[in-house]
């Protein structure tokens, strides 16, 4: 097999990164934009020792699950990798991804149920992060997503997975005359690096964050912020984030609100949350609500007035949502802004039994002496450290509720926990990121 070789293959399954998997004489080939049960002619684009990558030249027999994407930019935009697959089958493929991870990594003999679908499969994404660039000749501002596996920017004027108001705000920023230049990541020149928008399902309000290649608030930045604020009634605040570093990190920790409010409010279940520019909150609030309800109901049905530890808590969304069925909740989060907003949300909801600690989870675990009826772990994609898992076992009397957005690191951590004598009772997937290979899971682990 060589580069540019053409083959006809059957697509057998979907990889955990969203590629179709085919085999030729037992050799694995990962095929872009392929659906299981497709018969396709492919061209080898990359050859490695143990596998190859390929692109489709011709769809000979389409899978019965292949559909026309509802977004005309799907093939060139990297945001919705599997939008060409019908939604019900997307859910089954995601279930298989979780099942494979649990079988092969965690060695669990556990049947994974169907994912809980997203309540909305269009206009569900309520946090938007567009990188910004500028054309060399016309100096036109571009904003959108990168083509898959490149840093070539696709100028997105309409995105059906986000609220329409976001398209309008971004298009205004692209076209308004305010002496702002787009960022060039090769030369590290230009003003505007990213446009970040947080949109509230509950109120319709939008918080706009302009990520600037600077550590100073220039008058032209203020002018752009005020023009956005004045143009849109649904924009409740415009902030500038200062990020002059040569980095792929989108936002620094330094943000200044230029006009309006630095937060928006969102509702999950019956609780109100304040969300700021630098705080983590789920991009699909309606799907997140399903997860919070699932965790709250599990605690209510299996415990009576428990004391619960909420680790990697963010703005203490889990802690606040489960507080009604707990005698006490202890939330731990290392981001200071998140903790501040958690305190405000606790006050807004008149909650008296949630205790906030602004500290790294592993450090808090190591010195904490109290034991908890249940421990909620909601770590970032990289999962938990071994130290955190060991301390969670030590601090937990009964049940660890592990919320994960990465099946592979969840499986790794469950393997460690089972080797330490824990038992995985159940894993329930939830579809948070429609039309992508990503899938959220809630694992119930008994100590």
**Catalytic (active site) residue 405:** yes
CB–CB of 266/272 below 8 Å?
A: yes
Residues 269 and 317: their CA atoms lie apart, in Å, by 10
Q: Among residues 77, 239, 405, 422, which one is catalytic? A: 405
Q: Phi/psi of residue 436, each to 5°?
A: -125, 175
Residues 135 and 132: their CA atoms lie apart, in Å, by 10
Give the residue from 68, 69, 47, 45 showing the smallest Cα distance to 55. 45
State which H helix or E strand residue 55 sits in.
strand 51-61
DSSP E strands in 148-245: the ranges are: 153-155, 192-199, 206-212, 235-242
CB neighbour list of residue 266: distance below 8 Å, 6 or more residues apart: 200, 201, 202, 203, 272, 273, 275, 281, 285
Residues 440 and 428: their CA atoms lie apart, in Å, by 8
Q: How many CB atoms lie within 10 A of CB 177?
A: 8
CB–CB of 125/83 below 8 Å?
A: no
Residues acting as catalytic residues: 405
């Amino acid at each position: 097999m060589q580069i540019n070789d053409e083959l006809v293959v059957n697509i057998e399954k979907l990889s955990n990164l969203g590629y179709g998997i085919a085999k030729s004489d037992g050799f694995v080939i990962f095929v872009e934009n392929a659906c299981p049960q497709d018969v396709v002619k492919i061209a080898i684009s990359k050859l490695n020792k143990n596998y190859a990558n390929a692109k489709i030249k011709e769809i000979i027999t389409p899978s019965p699950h292949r559909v026309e994407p509802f977004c005309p930019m799907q093939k060139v935009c990297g945001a919705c990798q599997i939008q060409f697959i019908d939604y019900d089958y997307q859910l089954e493929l995601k279930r298989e991804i979780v099942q494979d991870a649990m079988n092969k990594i965690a060695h669990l003999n556990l049947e994974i149920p169907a994912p809980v679908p997203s309540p909305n499969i269009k206009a569900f994404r309520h946090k938007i992060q567009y990188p910004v660039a500028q054309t060399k000749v016309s100096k036109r501002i571009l904003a959108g997503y990168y083509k898959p596996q490149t840093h070539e920017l696709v100028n997105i004027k309409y995105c059906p997975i986000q609220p329409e108001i976001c398209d309008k705000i971004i298009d205004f920023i692209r076209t308004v005359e305010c002496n702002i230049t787009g960022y060039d990541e090769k030369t590290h020149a230009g003003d505007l690096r990213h446009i970040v928008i947080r949109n509230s399902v509950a109120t319709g309000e939008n918080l706009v964050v302009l990520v600037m290649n600077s550590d100073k608030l220039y008058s032209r930045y203020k002018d752009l912020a005020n023009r956005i604020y004045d143009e849109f009634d649904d924009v409740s605040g415009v902030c500038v984030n200062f990020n002059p570093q040569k980095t792929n990190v989108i936002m620094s920790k330094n943000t200044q609100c230029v006009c309006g409010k630095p937060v928006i409010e969102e509702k999950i279940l019956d609780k109100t949350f304040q969300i700021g520019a630098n705080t983590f909150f789920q991009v699909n609030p309606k799907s997140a609500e399903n997860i919070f309800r699932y965790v709250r109901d599990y605690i209510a049905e299996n415990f009576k007035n428990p004391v619960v530890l909420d680790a990697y808590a963010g703005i203490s969304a889990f802690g606040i949502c489960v507080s009604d069925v707990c005698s006490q909740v202890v939330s731990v989060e290392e981001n200071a802004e998140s903790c501040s907003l958690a305190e405000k949300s606790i006050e807004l909801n008149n909650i008296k039994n949630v205790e906030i600690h602004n500290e790294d989870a592993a450090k808090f675990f190591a010195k904490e002496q109290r034991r908890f009826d249940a421990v909620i772990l909601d770590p970032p994609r990289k999962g938990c450290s071994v130290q955190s898992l060991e301390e969670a076992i030590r601090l937990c009397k009964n049940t660890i509720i592990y919320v994960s957005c990465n099946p592979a690191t969840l499986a790794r951590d469950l393997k460690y926990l089972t080797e330490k004598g824990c038992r995985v009772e159940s894993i329930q997937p939830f579809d948070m990121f429609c039309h992508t290979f990503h899938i959220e899971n809630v694992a119930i682990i008994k100590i």
